[in-house]
């Protein structure tokens, strides 16, 4: 009974994490439209999230500062790839394609890992993995094929694919041994490294523009810092903290399945806040992608961690 109750609470926390993560695209897209560059938006998001988590990281690291040095390469990978690069190209994709389309493409990352493992090990994946891959690929074709004779921006699609590659790389980084580094410290330091690296990139030429123009959210004009603060606190700090808690309570397999709800949440928030709607074919494609990823992940004995720093 106690185990069942713990699992239920863990699932609720995992749903909270997925919903929190799913809000980022819908709140950031209006910020980008107001004149912010993707690099500037990601920098502020990561900085706010890292600062919010920093006090908890300091408490967790008390007496364990040597773990930071042992995990230095993992931290750099998380900051430079998991935070800076992946979020930068994802936000760049949002400038020209819908939030739902961008995140669905990004969540093809587990299938990319299956393909890479097949090439490196030269062992054919299990049948259930191949079936899931085919179903997801069919879904991807449906998602990236616009209806009504419109065309999907190829640059935006390219950025979404790059986000998928970055997300897949992050899976590998987050699955490496923690070596005593507390998850919350891993998250906080990684976010701050990501923010610092993007700020430095801005100094050497990466477009880094901001704007003090009002941002339209839910049909209402608000000051520019409102959506950024929301994304920094809710979509980053709260989302990371809750996902860490859910992973510890559920284990990586069940938590990773719950993490797929981010796709649904992101599409839902884009519909509510931005009025973005997917066609019937694209909705069916999204269902196929989720089913395919479910097949792939259900076969693996050690489940792939969800794409947040939970280990």
Q: How confident is the model over 220-279, as pLDDT tens digits?
A: 888 989 999 999 999 888 887 777 677 666 664 455 556 667 777 777 777 777 777 667
Structure confidence at residue 188 (pLDDT)? 92
- pLDDT tens-digit readout, 157-213: 899 999 988 887 876 776 666 678 888 888 899 999 999 998 888 888 778 888 888
Pairwise pLDDT comparison (52 vs 110), residue with the higher score? 52
**DSSP codes of every residue in the chain:** -HHHHHHHHHHHHHHHHHHHHHTHHHHHHHHHHTT--HHHHHHHHHHHHHHHHHHHHHHHTTT-THHHHHTHHHHHHIIIIIIIIHHHHHHHHHTTS-HHHHHHHHTTHHHHHHHHHHHHH--PPPHHHHHHHHHHHHHHHHHTS-STT----HHHHHHHHHHHHHHHHHHHHHHS--TT--HHHHHHHHHHHHHHHHHHHHHTTS------S-EEETTEEE-THHHHHHIIIIIIIIHHHHHHHHHHHH-HHHHHHHHTHHHHHHHHHIIIII-----HHHHHHHHHHHHHHHHHHHH-SSPPPPSS---
Closest CA to 160 of 99, 224, 246: 99
Asked if pLDDT for residue 303 goes beyond 70, the answer is no
The whole-number average pLDDT for the span 94-121 is 77
Whether 46 and 190 have beta carbons less than 8 Å apart is answered as no
Structure confidence at residue 305 (pLDDT)? 42
Pairwise pLDDT comparison (217 vs 160), residue with the higher score? 160
Structure confidence at residue 257 (pLDDT)? 58
CA distances from 3 to 16, 39, 125, 251, 272 (A): 20, 43, 33, 13, 36
Asked if pLDDT for residue 282 goes beyond 80, the answer is no
The whole-number average pLDDT for the span 85-96 is 84
User: What would the two tokens of residue 17 be?
Assistant: 């994490």
Binned at pLDDT 50, 70 and 90, residue 5 comes out as low
Structure confidence at residue 298 (pLDDT)? 66
CB atoms within 10 A of CB 35: 14
Whether 14 and 259 have beta carbons less than 8 Å apart is answered as yes
Cα–Cα distance for residue pair 136/112, rounded to 1 Å: 11
- pLDDT tens-digit readout, 113-132: 777 777 877 787 777 778 87
Structure confidence at residue 115 (pLDDT)? 78
Binned at pLDDT 50, 70 and 90, residue 299 comes out as low
Structure confidence at residue 195 (pLDDT)? 92
Poorest-pLDDT segment among 10-24, 253-267, 284-298 = 253-267
CA 48 to chain centre: 16
- pLDDT tens-digit readout, 146-160: 555 456 788 888 999
Pairwise pLDDT comparison (299 vs 167), residue with the higher score? 167
Asked if pLDDT for residue 15 goes beyond 90, the answer is no
Asked if pLDDT for residue 67 goes beyond 60, the answer is yes
- pLDDT tens-digit readout, 21-50: 888 877 888 898 888 988 888 899 999 999
Pairwise pLDDT comparison (300 vs 261), residue with the higher score? 261
Structure confidence at residue 256 (pLDDT)? 56
Poorest-pLDDT segment among 138-147, 264-273, 296-305 = 296-305
Which are the contacts of 307, defined by CB distance < 8 A and separation ≥ 6?
A: 82, 109, 167, 170, 171, 174, 259
The whole-number average pLDDT for the span 83-89 is 85
Closest CA to 162 of 94, 74, 255: 94
């Amino acid at each position: 009974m106690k185990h069942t109750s713990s699992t239920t609470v863990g699932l609720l926390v995992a749903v909270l994490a997925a919903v929190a993560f799913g809000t980022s695209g819908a709140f950031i897209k209006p910020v980008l439209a107001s004149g912010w560059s993707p690099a500037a938006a990601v920098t502020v998001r990561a900085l706010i999230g890292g600062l919010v988590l920093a006090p908890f990281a300091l408490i967790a690291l008390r007496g364990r500062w040597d773990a930071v040095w042992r995990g230095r390469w993992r931290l750099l990978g998380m900051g430079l790839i998991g935070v800076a690069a992946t979020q930068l190209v994802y936000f760049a994709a949002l400038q020209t394609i819908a939030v739902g389309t961008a995140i669905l493409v990004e969540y093809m990352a587990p299938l990319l890992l299956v393909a890479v493992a097949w090439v490196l090990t030269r062992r054919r994946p299990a049948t259930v993995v191949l079936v899931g891959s085919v179903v997801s690929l069919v879904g991807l074709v449906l998602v990236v094929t616009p209806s009504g004779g419109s065309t999907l921006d190829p640059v935006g699609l390219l950025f979404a694919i790059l986000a998928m590659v970055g997300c897949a790389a992050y899976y590998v980084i987050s699955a490496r041994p923690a070596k005593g580094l507390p998850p919350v410290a891993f998250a906080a330091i990684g976010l701050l490294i990501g923010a610092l690296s993007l700020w430095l990139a801005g100094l050497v030429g990466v477009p880094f523009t901001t704007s003090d123009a009002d941002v339209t959210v839910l049909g209402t004009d608000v000051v520019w810092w409102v959506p950024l603060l929301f994304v920094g606190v809710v979509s980053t700090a709260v989302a990371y903290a809750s996902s860490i808690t859910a992973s510890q309570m559920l284990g990586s397999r069940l938590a990773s399945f719950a993490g797929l709800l981010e796709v649904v949440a992101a599409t839902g928030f884009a519909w509510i806040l931005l009025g973005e709607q997917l066609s019937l074919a694209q909705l069916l494609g999204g269902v196929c992608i989720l089913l395919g990823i479910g097949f792939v992940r259900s076969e693996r004995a050690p489940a792939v961690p969800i794409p947040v720093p939970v280990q």
